[in-house]
Structure 1
Amino acid sequence: MEKSIFSTTRQYDLDWIRVLATLAVFLYHCSMFFNPFPWHVKNNQLDSGGILAFSLFVGSWLMPIFIAVSGISVVYTLQRRTGSVYIRERLVRLGVPLLFGVVFLTPPQVFIERVTHNQFNGSFFDFLPHYFDGLYLSIGGDGNFAFFGLHLWYLLVLMVFSLLTLPLFKKISRYNKFGMIHFFILPILLFLVGPIKTVNLGGWDIIFYLVLFIYGYYFLSNEAFKPALRRTIRIHFSIAIITSIVFIIWFMKAFPKPGTINDIIFYSVHALNCWSWLLCIFFLADKHLAFPNRFLKYGSEASMPFYVLHQPVIVFLGYLIYDLSWPMPAKLIFLITVSFVVIMLCYQLVIKRIPVLRFLFGIKSTAILKKGSASNAISQS
Structure 2
Amino acid sequence: MLTTSATTQVIPRRYELDWLRVLAFGLLIFYHTGMLYVERWGFHFKSQYLSSSLEYLMLLSSPWRMLLIWFISGYALGAVILHCAGWRQYFKFGLRRTVILLLPLLVGLWLIVPPQLYAEMVQKDGLSLSYWQFYQAFFDLQHPLFADYQSGVWPHVDVNHLWFLRSLWQFTLLVLLLMPILNSRRVQQACRWLFQLALPWQVFAWSLLLLAIRFAASGDAVRELQGLVVFLLGILVVRQPDFWQQLAQPRRWLGWLCLLNYGALCGLYFLAYQPDQLPALLQPAILPGLHLSFSVQAVAMLCWILVLAQRYLSKPHRKLALANRMVFPVYLLHQSLIIIAALWLTPFALGGFTEAALVLMVTLSGSALCLLVCWHLPLLAPLVGLRTPYQFSTGWRKAGLFCGALLVTPLVVNLLL
Verify same fold: TM over 0.5.
yes
Of 6, 11, 16, which residue of structure 2 is paired with 1:13? 16
1:352 match: 375
Of 158, 176, 181, which residue of structure 1 is paired with 2:168? 158
* 2:365 pairs with 1:341: yes
Question: What SS does the corresponding residue of 1:275 show, helix, strand or coil?
Answer: helix
* 2:181 pairs with 1:171: yes
Code of the residue aligned with 1:25 in structure 2: it is L
Distance 2:12 2:364 in 1: 33
TM-score normalised per structure 1: 0.86
The one-character-per-residue Cα deviations of 1:123-181 (angstroms, maximum 9, x if unpaired) are 2233235436779xxxx963374545211110000001111222223323234452224
Question: What SS does the corresponding residue of 1:60 show, helix, strand or coil?
Answer: coil
- Evaluate the alpha carbon distance shift between residue 132 and residue 251 of structure 1 in structure 2; reply closer, same or farther with a 3 A threshold: farther
Tell which deviates more after alignment, 118-127 or 185-194. 118-127
* 2:202 pairs with 1:182: yes
Of 255, 258, 262, which residue of structure 2 is paired with 1:244? 262
* 2:135 pairs with 1:106: no
Contact 1:198 1:206 in 2 (8 A): no
Contact 1:35 1:52 in 2 (8 A): yes
- Evaluate the alpha carbon distance shift between residue 266 and residue 220 of structure 1 in structure 2; reply closer, same or farther with a 3 A threshold: farther
The one-character-per-residue Cα deviations of 1:174-212 (angstroms, maximum 9, x if unpaired) are 3445222433321121122112325428xx521111111
- Evaluate the alpha carbon distance shift between residue 215 and residue 87 of structure 1 in structure 2; reply closer, same or farther with a 3 A threshold: same
Code of the residue aligned with 1:335 in structure 2: it is V
Question: What SS does the corresponding residue of 2:347 show, helix, strand or coil?
Answer: coil
Distance 2:237 2:205 in 1: 10
Contact 2:272 2:286 in 1 (8 A): no
Contact 1:77 1:86 in 2 (8 A): no
Question: What SS does the corresponding residue of 2:20 show, helix, strand or coil?
Answer: helix
Distance 1:88 1:360 in 2: 16
* 2:61 pairs with 1:58: yes
Code of the residue aligned with 1:323 in structure 2: it is P
Contact 1:233 1:280 in 2 (8 A): yes
Contact 1:194 1:267 in 2 (8 A): yes
Contact 1:26 1:311 in 2 (8 A): yes
Question: What SS does the corresponding residue of 2:240 show, helix, strand or coil?
Answer: coil
Contact 1:182 1:219 in 2 (8 A): no
1:374 match: none
Of 86, 92, 95, which residue of structure 2 is paired with 1:88? 95
Question: What SS does the corresponding residue of 1:322 show, helix, strand or coil?
Answer: helix
2:104 match: 97
Contact 1:61 1:277 in 2 (8 A): yes
Question: What SS does the corresponding residue of 1:205 show, helix, strand or coil?
Answer: helix
- Rg bigger for which structure? 2
Distance 1:278 1:237 in 2: 11
1:3 Cα deviation after fit:
6.7
Distance 1:62 1:114 in 2: 29
1:76 match: 79
1:93 Cα deviation after fit:
1.4
Distance 1:345 1:93 in 2: 22
Of 288, 305, 309, which residue of structure 2 is paired with 1:264? 288
1:41 match: 45
Distance 2:304 2:268 in 1: 22
1:357 Cα deviation after fit:
1.7
Code of the residue aligned with 1:40 in structure 2: it is H
Contact 2:268 2:286 in 1 (8 A): no
Question: What SS does the corresponding residue of 1:63 show, helix, strand or coil?
Answer: helix
Code of the residue aligned with 2:92 in structure 1: it is V
Contact 2:262 2:297 in 1 (8 A): yes
What runs of 5+ residues in structure 2 fail to find an aligned partner? 1-5, 276-282, 395-417
1:8 Cα deviation after fit:
4.4
What runs of 5+ residues in structure 1 fail to find an aligned partner? 372-381
2:317 match: 293
Contact 2:203 2:296 in 1 (8 A): no
The one-character-per-residue Cα deviations of 1:286-324 (angstroms, maximum 9, x if unpaired) are 111111213312211100011101111111001011233
Distance 2:8 2:262 in 1: 35
* 2:251 pairs with 1:233: yes
Code of the residue aligned with 1:196 in structure 2: it is A
1:231 Cα deviation after fit:
3.3
1:25 match: 28
Distance 2:319 2:156 in 1: 34
Contact 1:93 1:363 in 2 (8 A): no
Distance 1:133 1:246 in 2: 49
Distance 2:103 2:162 in 1: 11
1:215 Cα deviation after fit:
1.8
Question: What SS does the corresponding residue of 1:39 show, helix, strand or coil?
Answer: coil
Tell me how large the CA RMSD over aligned residues is: 2.7
The one-character-per-residue Cα deviations of 1:198-251 (angstroms, maximum 9, x if unpaired) are 5428xx521111111112222376211122123362222122111212212322
* 2:138 pairs with 1:131: yes
Count of aligned positions: 360
- Evaluate the alpha carbon distance shift between residue 254 and residue 119 of structure 1 in structure 2; reply closer, same or farther with a 3 A threshold: same
Distance 1:154 1:67 in 2: 9
Contact 1:41 1:322 in 2 (8 A): no
Distance 2:345 2:51 in 1: 16
1:23 Cα deviation after fit:
0.7
1:379 match: none
1:317 match: 341
Distance 2:263 2:391 in 1: 46
Tell which deviates more after alignment, 144-153 or 14-23. 144-153
TM-score normalised per structure 2: 0.79
Distance 2:35 2:224 in 1: 21
Distance 1:84 1:295 in 2: 33
